[in-house]
Amino acid sequence: MAAPAVEATAATALRSVILRARKAAEHVGRDPERIRVVAVSKTKPVSLLRQIYDAGHRCFGENYVQEFIDKAPQLPDDIEWHFVGHLQSNKAKTLLAGVPNLAMVEGVDGEKVANHLDRAVSSLGRHPLKVLVQVNTSGEPSKSGIEPSSVVELARYVKLHCPNLVFSGLMTIGMPDYTSTPDNFRTLSNCRADVCKALGMAEDQFELSMGMSGDFEQAIEMGSTNVRVGSTIFGPREYPKKAT
């Protein structure tokens, strides 16, 4: 369980992040209400998430399926959950069954995982699931995501062949150390233009998920609609120690 002082600090940090996000949007003449802050809570205890929830926040993100399905049932069901990052195809149904209020998967990086998600939504009888296609904007082989040249093809596949998924936009993680550069953001923005043109989608209705703790203000100024902020709100990650 998190200490009360840590919880209070997290709630204060959340308010600061939301204020900074609003200012970044206003700085470039964007509507602050169109920016979503996803509080990425991987490795953090449920008590700390509850404190952020009690401060009024409703949008949270997790990265690991098992941790996600352990934590989600312990929290209110009006949370808008996002799964962030690479999802193994064989865990798609486990994830959806374990988190009925999953709002979005940020990380579809191939037809196989799209098909598994589509079938899982259908078999569980839940409402269509929003998904973002994950793009490798850095060219680093260690990063999940498809090459920018393949984005239109995968987006078209999801839109036309996965009736239980709602193709909603694109996401990127950035560099190997999870930072991003203006080039990464520009690449994703260019991919959005290509997809919108090819599929007849309006750019102002298209999600761009880019920007994390170290660069979310710059990402917003470059068009992000969805920023994923973890350590700036919750503090450094505490990964379990491996047995030696």
pTM above 0.85, yes or no: yes
What single letter denotes the amino acid at residue 6?
Answer: V
Share of the chain above pLDDT 70, in %: 91
User: What was the pLDDT predicted at 244?
Assistant: 42
Q: Where are the domains of the chain?
A: 3-229
What single letter denotes the amino acid at residue 20?
Answer: R
pLDDT > 50? residue 103: yes
What single letter denotes the amino acid at residue 154?
Answer: L
Match domain 3-229 to its CATH number in 3.40.50.970, 3.20.20.10, 3.40.50.720, 1.10.600.10: 3.20.20.10
Which residues, including other chains, have CB under 8 Å from residue 241's CB and lie 6 or more apart? none
- Stated as kind and residue range, the H or E segment containing 46 is helix 46-54
